Amino acid sequence: MSAEFWITQAFNGISYGALLFLLASGLSLIFGVMRIVNLAHGSYFMLGGYVGLSVVWRTGSFLAALVAGAVAIALIGIGMERLFLRRLPGQTLGQVLMTVGFALMFQDVALLVWGGDPYTIPVPAALQGIVTAGTLRFPAYRIFIIVVAVLIGVGLWVVLDRTRVGAMIRAAVDDREMAQGVGIRVPVVSLGVFALGAALAALGGVIGGGFLGVYPGADFEVLPYAFVVVIVGGLGSLPGAMVGSLLVGLLDNFGKALFPELSYFTLFAPMALILALRPTGLFGRA
């Protein structure tokens, strides 16, 4: 196992972690503000990918696909939150079952509309190359994913930490009732966060569609990863989602490369152990 192997695998792990961050940061925010365990979050990823695919087919524009995927799925998220999930405050089991119900329906609708064949979203020529550094070769598209994740991570951090809206969101995370009491319109904040989380997942779906592809079953395939990230990092914590994504991306890649038979085990077992020792995750608060 040469240094090359380690560097390449680490790079792959980091770029996969970057994609996971897009998916998981939204899930984490949604949980933080609304305490909703959203099992339909993987569906947003998959549907985002499919919408993006259709838009690329029609318009040929990758950028349009990103925007359309994010907007369309944000609208679905708004509908789900406003019409259904809002009726179940504090009912964890009810939320779980309801979001699974939506996930199953989305799965079937996707099958109905886009069929059962896997597709890959065509990416712009500028992102198709390979960047070489000495003997090492890095696909440009994976570098693009890392850049997007960093930009979104920084953007989220600035908004959450430096703006008035961010302060309102943080207040809603910390203490819903007090936030409501000081005049923050928590239901509106919730709706906004839910839409943002869904849009981020859809963005991940379109971007992921460029190298993982878009296919039936992608929803329940990425969902456990998103949950691992959020759980390891701590529910509702943005730094937790960043660290968790990197950790999970690396663990997954090295696990698959080094112990192919135990690769999921090497991913989920450390997570279970972290949870057993720190039930609130690495960065979470009770």
Choose which of 7, 78, 275, 282 interacts with other proteins (CB under 8 A): 275
- The SS3 assignment for 123 reads coil
- Cβ neighbors of 136 (< 8 A, separation 6 or more) are 4, 7, 8
Q: How far is the CB of 90 from other proteins (least distance, A)?
A: 6
Q: How far is the CB of 229 from other proteins (least distance, A)?
A: 12
User: Which is nearest to 224 in space by CA: 41, 19, 51?
Assistant: 41
Instruction: For the segment 12-51, give every residue that binds other proteins (CB under 8 A).
Output: 31, 35, 37, 39
Torsion of CA 254, 260, 261, 262, to 10 degrees: 10
Minimum CB distance to other proteins smaller for 205 or for 281: 281
Q: Are 203 and 70 in contact (CB under 8 A)?
A: yes
Site string for other proteins, 116-145 (x = CB under 8 A): ------------------------------
Q: Are 52 and 218 in contact (CB under 8 A)?
A: no
Q: How far is the CB of 41 from other proteins (least distance, A)?
A: 13
Minimum CB distance to other proteins smaller for 68 or for 98: 98
Count H helices and E strands in the chain, helices first.
11, 2
Choose which of 122, 124, 139, 224 interacts with other proteins (CB under 8 A): 224
By CB under 8 A, which span of 44-52, 65-73, 131-139, 265-273 interacts with other proteins? 265-273
H or E segment at 53? helix 41-59
User: Which is nearest to 280 in space by CA: 235, 245, 237?
Assistant: 235
Q: How far is the CB of 265 from other proteins (least distance, A)?
A: 5
What distances in angstroms separate CA 107 from CA 39, 49, 117, one per listed residue?
Answer: 12, 13, 13
By CB under 8 A, which span of 2-10, 122-130, 146-154, 274-282 interacts with other proteins? 274-282
Choose which of 146, 231, 238, 246 interacts with other proteins (CB under 8 A): 231
Q: How far is the CB of 116 from other proteins (least distance, A)?
A: 11
- The SS3 assignment for 209 reads helix
Q: Is 107 in the site for other proteins (CB under 8 A)?
A: yes
By CB under 8 A, which span of 11-19, 54-62, 71-79, 256-264 interacts with other proteins? 256-264
Choose which of 75, 105, 151, 178 interacts with other proteins (CB under 8 A): 105
Instruction: For the segment 73-102, give every residue that binds other proteins (CB under 8 A).
Output: 84, 87-88, 90-98, 100-102
Residue 272 Cα to chain centre, angstroms: 20
Angle between helices 218-233 and 238-258 (to 10 degrees): 120
Minimum CB distance to other proteins smaller for 46 or for 146: 46
User: Which is nearest to 11 in space by CA: 176, 126, 174, 145?
Assistant: 145
Residue with tokens 């950028």: 63
Minimum CB distance to other proteins smaller for 94 or for 181: 94
- State the Rg of the chain over Cα: 19
Distance CA 184, CA 175 (A): 11
Number of residues that bind other proteins (CB under 8 A): 51
Which stretches of the chain bind other proteins, using CB under 8 A? 31, 35, 37, 39, 84, 87-88, 90-98, 100-109, 111-112, 220, 223-224, 227-228, 231, 235, 260-265, 267-269, 271-273, 275-276, 279-280
